[in-house]
Amino acid sequence: MSSESRSAPGVGHVGPLLSAKCTSCGKTSEKRTAEIVGDPSGGSFRHVCHSCQRVIWWNVLEVLSDGGRSA
Ligand SMILES: [Zn+2]
């Protein structure tokens, strides 16, 4: 029996998995993006917020997984 690498089903974006906070409504959520502005452990990125129902800036709270690194 071989050990399989863990994969995250249902995640449609590449890049590290982040815990992040919406700068508009303050909602925290897990997001995946490869387009962080600034330091990946404390930067910002734009992503859709389902509470605000638009693309908004998110602040990175914590890097949960460093998977999906390109090349
Ligand atoms: Zn929001």
53 within some domain: yes
Give me ligand 1 centre to Cα 64, in Å: 20
Give me ligand 1 centre to Cα 3, in Å: 39
Strand partners, 28: 21
Question: 38 Cβ partners below 8 Å, 6+ apart?
Answer: 44
Give me ligand 1 centre to Cα 33, in Å: 16
Residue 17 CA to residue 46 CA, distance in Å, equals: 14
pLDDT tens, position by position, 16-65: 899 999 999 999 999 999 899 998 889 999 999 999 999 999 999 999 98
Is the pTM higher than 0.75?
A: no
3 state DSSP class of 28: strand
3 within some domain: no
Stretch (H or E) spanning 44: strand 44-49
For the chain, the domain total comes to 1
Give me ligand 1 centre to Cα 26, in Å: 6
Give me ligand 1 centre to Cα 18, in Å: 16
Residue 41's pLDDT is 87
**Domain extent at residue 57:** 17-64
More confident residue, 6 or 32: 32
Sheet strand arrangement including 17-22 = 28-32, 17-22, 54-65, 44-49
7 within some domain: no
